[in-house]
Chains A and B, each alone.
Chain A
């Protein structure tokens, strides 16, 4: 049985929802919400189907010719399905959250329209089977996130949007150049081809290295690797659900995913090692990890601290690639999912604190655990996971990265891991300490900056539900890592494919 309709349907549903939302009038909130949630659930079902088919050994391909020598191809492979699963799961969560978050505010039609478009782009990115198709959705992602970043329309938001575009569109141009150079050298290369580009090594070593630099450099902008990270902290002015989506799956991860595709599926790991570019990647990732953590410690507001933490955490994925061994790969891939789940939880929490209590600065968080226990527990789960304490999800990543580093005899990477974990603890533990062990307004000491009573529970139910869900999933990802279809299990499956263990 073939199911070539499967990848295109998953994409088409997200695109169709975008169209419907733009056509519906601004006021029909109920209908829009229904359609949005229905589509998100349908997509989860479709991706589950894909996962089952991939697990059973089928790969579904949808393709048509765009121009001579260039095809549009969508394919369900293990790595793509993994990313598609993350994005469809988080689409549902962030949509529910956004519905609660934006209740009563203006421009919701525009917001949800571009939000769906953004998710459609990530699904396209996940399932794209060649560089051309990948670029289509990658640029679509750039354009669809701009209206989300400038959503509030303030001077600050507009400036952030301008800087975001400056970085990403320039990166897009660089990527385009790299892609066309590659196509004119090798023709249309499917991500699924086993051959890699090894045949071209002897004659075109310099050119291949240049193309690698262009492609990875282009992707590194969205992955926010130092020194190309400048847009990310500024983009924090966006509403909380946007930040959550941007950091957990959409933009930042799309960049990391692009690098994964280039190294594993386009060049092939052997060729990348042969070119000597991999070590450079590992060094760049290490610098980003340390730098991001140091900057995070210096932040006094919650969202910027989380932003710099993202810069640091996403580079674990890149670092895992740089270890060129199966364990490093497993760590990298698992972290793609783990970091997404943990970071989305943390951003949901940050949004809840801001909405319910008006908390933006870290020193305002004293004693918030008593006032908002669920949010604070979720935050604690996310924070401990990020630090990498066992048995949380982040620990598994760091464990595998550490083993990978020792196997590859790159002992300095172990040092990087230790330093970064210490730094992570330094910027997350004080927050956890404030939440639970300091006396604050809920103990009758001072008052919250701007307290709202948004719902029967500690805050609005729509804000609470997705946060609790992602916190539980990220907890389960760590505790139940040994079960089939856990992130770790799936990452191992993908890595087996790449290294043919």
Chain B
């Protein structure tokens, strides 16, 4: 299992250029963010200019990985060995992070110009940069300490971004989120302390070799798991999610739902595959909670009157899909074929959802910004006057419903195959029910938008490109589904 995360020694010494690319990927987002705080960009093109080297460095790493396979960098600081590694999964998650990050950054100038955000807005940029840097570090980290640093940086940056809007409700939700994030980190840290105390090391590769199943490993896994589940808003620890998104700025929501939540889930899978290899009960508990999450999240989204809450609750349900796969990813006695299928389906679903959810939040943000209404009823007549925003919302929702030709569909197909081979009929049923529930709340929203009897309102025109950025993200989720062979091929350790 652990080899899938690229935690093994590489015989290949990285080229000098990849060192530079690595440095760029990790530090440049932060630096550009600081620069933008000093000179806040008013238009999208300076942002595009600033993101170009970051994306280029990411692509360079992709090509380097394609040529050489696993990349590994090692430094000795004092007598501690620090190392970072880049495998197929890291490349995919890194590129996902960068592209969604760039899309959110490009979206921001237009959004800030139209939404009259107040004086604190300039601080959004360094926080956004920190967030991207922290996430990039997380995909590459190979020890618990680096992972903790990345997690903490990410969490604080996320809280900071949420607090920026300065409204009372946002402050309240943000402080609650801060508290929960801190509790989550603290629980995680306790787990790490337990591991360090018992086994005396923090590097994942070494830990994977010496950890044996037993009470200590179980307890550590429970602590780490609880902390990360809280941060990832896994059911039933999801209650903080909707209020946070309700009050956040749109690009912040897009980044948070698309990436931040996924990062905690990534760490959860990574650490549990080390602490609980071939466990029986723990993954099943997660899976059962996942089934509840699918239903509960779907019902929440179906009942709500607020567009943003709908999108946020849908995240809870979509995370349920990922939770249901846990027994296949981590459980004992899973044959290689279904495990490989589940592994591919898991990450494809995660990435597809990241793109689609970011697109959806942007589309929802556009609708709210243009109509000035944040309720579903306020959408009446938008299909006539804001067709593009609504179309983007629709395209993104196809991925969430898991209908073809989206990443959600291809992922679901892979997961179904894995579940049918292992005869997990409950999981199959959960996914099918989830599909219908998703369709129910999505089309409930569309029903309002097609209402032609609404009085004509004045709409605020959107900045050019705001819809197009969201459209690109939504279509990326389609491309990911149709051409899934290439990204999934990367995860097998090489190119196609």
Binding site for B on A (CB under 8 A): 22, 64-68, 70, 72, 106-107, 109-110, 132, 135-137, 139-140, 142-143, 146-147, 150, 152-155, 157-158, 161-162, 165, 169-170, 172-173, 176-177, 180-181, 183-184
Contact = CB atoms under 8 A, between A and B. Distances in A.
B340 to A, nearest CB: 9
24 contacts: A22-B388, A67-B414, A67-B485, A68-B344, A68-B485, A68-B488, A72-B482, A107-B383, A109-B387, A136-B409, A146-B443, A150-B450, A152-B452, A153-B452, A154-B452, A157-B450, A161-B450, A162-B447, A170-B436, A173-B436, A177-B428, A177-B432, A180-B416, A181-B420
B interface, over-half SS: helix
A171 B383 CA distance: 26
A153 B453 contact: yes
Interface string B24-47: 000000000000000000000000
A115 B403 CA distance: 19
A208 to B, nearest CB: 15
- Of B450, B453, B481, most A-chain CB atoms within 10 Å: B450
Contacts of A72: 482
B435 A173 contact: yes
A181 B394 CA distance: 29
Contacts, number: 99
Given A169-B436, A177-B428, A184-B421, A135 B404 contact: yes
Contact of A67 (B384, B391, B410): B410
Contacts of A176: 412-413, 416, 432, 435
B484 A67 contact: yes
B482 A66 contact: yes
Contacts of B421: 184
Interface string B318-345: 0000000000000000000000000010
B416 A110 contact: no
Interface in B265-300: none
Contact of B416 (A157, A169, A170, A177): A177
B398 interface: yes
B484 to A, nearest CB: 5
A105 to B, nearest CB: 11
B413 A180 contact: yes
Interface residues on B, range: 35 or more
A184 B416 CA distance: 9
A137 B394 CA distance: 17
B439 A66 contact: no
Contacts of A109: 387
Given A165-B443, A177-B428, 7 more contacts: A67-B344, A150-B447, A153-B450, A155-B453, A169-B439, A176-B412, A184-B420
Contacts of B409: 136, 139
A184 to B, nearest CB: 5
A147 B384 CA distance: 12
A161 B439 CA distance: 13
Contacts of B405: 136, 140
B483 interface: yes
Contacts of A170: 436
Contacts of B398: 143
Contacts of A155: 453
